[in-house]
A and B are shown apart, each in its own frame.
Chain A
């Protein structure tokens, strides 16, 4: 019988390594799992010599919910609801990456209209995600105003998702071969509103933060990731671009029509917390730019779901009640059984999300349930670097580095 022991007195003493001078000069401090600055439930065991960190051991798994195991017990369209909950800062981005993998497994390509809608919502999701990390590093370092301002922008993104999908947060909007339903008639106006207001909000927040000496001294030169580290640890996304490794899947392995969009990839050579912050701010400006272009390109309507044979997409409800074939298809797709299954095979598909490369490795056994779902979690891989970045530095740097790395606990633990 297994016993899970927790102590209120602090660290798990037997876990200290050979340098752990318990009762000597070093203090052991528990940072988390409940801590306002950790943005999620994860824990750091810090061994301190005064303010300087001698050793840092991360403990994760507090939010582990068996998402990968759940994938084996949900059908391909059901699992999108679980996938939402991984990177919960931009749920739609997860839906999208997942369903793009499923579609590759099935060998289906979506219509251009759907791809453009997905691209636009992916950029809104990027704005949504980056909005969070616009304000929270400031909040962690003691500045509350930019945090509240950034959430106004975030709420505008929530509004877009609410009007399109019905849910502010856990959208579950994509389906195999398309979308849950078409976008509402005022979609373009709503997207335009978000795209128009973003640069102004970024200017406001930058003006309050980026000439502030406290902000600069706590973010510049801290938590430097080198370009070698990026390749060694598999770092992707803004954290990689802030270290001079200019890679972006939207440009390097384009999907969804990004090749038709004109945008820049912001990079910075410094690799410190400040670099990661300003790269994200600039990415938000570029996202707004992409949205403006997409609005002009989007037709007023189009075919949302591909799949005339109804092998993966549910028929419209009215037809299900009236016509025999549609009823049969509906039955086959909903009830457990072999209708609507992809061929045996495996794929890996990755998207450039706000966090970095989010990939899904799907293994199919020819049934409606995935055989294995592996999520390639950027937060997990980035957090593995964390001890390197803070060991030898001060306790106050832990907060700066943690908030600059963009760690989402649900993606970390799954």
Chain B
């Protein structure tokens, strides 16, 4: 996207959403808008429906944890990232909605595009950001009882020992119980040791 077109898009959005638009940057030809989370759905709908914009195609919905980033654009720890595409002009656009750590909530975009359904579930699973209005906000990649949010910067790469506390409960059918008595008991990886 060239600079004049990016400027005109920013101008157009700013005239309608002056308070909500917190920033706009162009880097490597990509336009990024930073929008207050309270108004992000309105801005996305405007980007989609306005005749001169027509960013109708949802590409992706993700999040970033900026806790360790050296050059923070905003004080909030997280941001929900929306990538959009215009099928009419083949232009791309990125919208960021900052989300604070102490109130990790963002409105759900499910009403705009169904793509948001599973992608918001993944953001919730990985970052712990809740989406207001999501019909079925539960974990999608990790198991239900898992207690942490793995893509946060404070969650270590190798986890917090979940593998050693992984319990399997079997329904006790008589045949299974008989054959289990003949097997050696399963040992956890902590007992087995390294290698």
A contacts, CB < 8 Å to B: 1-9, 60-61, 64, 66, 68-70, 72-73, 104-105, 107, 231-234, 245, 247, 252-253, 344-348, 350, 357, 359, 361, 363, 365-366, 371-372, 374, 376, 380-381, 383-385, 413-414
Contacts and interface: CB of A to CB of B under 8 A. Distances in A.
Contacts of A350: 59
A301 to B, nearest CB: 31
A232 B173 CA distance: 47
Nearest to A8: B171
Contacts of A5: 167, 169
B68 interface: yes
A412 B169 CA distance: 27
B71 to A, nearest CB: 5
Contacts of B46: none
Given A68-B151, A380-B118, A4 B64 contact: no
Interface stretch (B4-12, B136-144, B177-185): B136-144
A232 B68 contact: no
B192 interface: no
Given A4-B167, A361-B62, 15 more contacts: A2-B146, A3-B169, A4-B145, A231-B57, A232-B115, A234-B113, A247-B87, A253-B90, A347-B30, A348-B83, A361-B81, A365-B70, A372-B65, A384-B115, A384-B118
A3 B58 contact: no
B58 A234 contact: yes
B60 interface: yes
Interface size, B (range)? 35 or more
14 contacts: A2-B147, A3-B169, A4-B167, A7-B169, A9-B171, A61-B139, A64-B142, A231-B113, A344-B70, A348-B59, A371-B64, A376-B83, A380-B118, A380-B122
B22 to A, nearest CB: 17
A329 to B, nearest CB: 25
A245 B144 CA distance: 37
Given A350-B59, A413-B141, A232 B169 contact: no
Contacts of B92: 348
Contacts of B126: 68
Given A4-B168, A366-B70, A107 B115 contact: no
Nearest to B159: A66
A384 B119 CA distance: 9
A64 B162 CA distance: 14
Contacts of A7: 169-171
B142 A104 contact: no
Nearest to A249: B90
B144 to A, nearest CB: 9
Contacts of B57: 231, 234
A6 B169 contact: yes
A233 B157 contact: no
The 9 closest A-B pairs by CB, nearest first: A61-B141, A234-B115, A384-B118, A376-B60, A64-B141, A374-B62, A2-B145, A234-B58, A232-B114
Contacts of A4: 143, 145, 166-168
B89 to A, nearest CB: 10
A233 B171 contact: no
B118 A2 contact: no
Nearest to B69: A365
Interface of B: 27-28, 30, 32, 56-60, 62, 64-65, 68-71, 81, 83, 87, 90, 92, 94, 113-115, 117-119, 122, 126, 139-143, 145-147, 150-151, 157, 162, 165-171, 173, 176
Contacts of B115: 232-234, 381, 384
Contacts of B87: 231, 245, 247
Nearest to B62: A374
Contacts of A366: 70-71
B56 A231 contact: yes
Given A2-B145, A344-B71, A61 B168 contact: no
Given A234-B58, A371-B69, A359 B167 contact: no
Contacts of B59: 234, 348, 350, 357, 359, 376
Given A3-B145, A61-B143, A234 B117 contact: no
A407 B94 CA distance: 26
Contacts of A414: 141
A380 B120 CA distance: 12
B60 A60 contact: no
Contacts of B56: 231
Contacts of B114: 232-233, 384-385
Given A61-B140, A344-B71, A105 B147 contact: no
Contacts of B173: 8
A216 B154 CA distance: 53
A8 B118 contact: no
B169 to A, nearest CB: 5
Contacts of B68: 365, 371
A64 B57 CA distance: 27
Contacts of A8: 170-171, 173, 176
Contacts of B165: 1-2
Nearest to A388: B114
Nearest to B113: A232
Contacts of A68: 126, 151
A357 B114 CA distance: 17
B28 A104 contact: yes
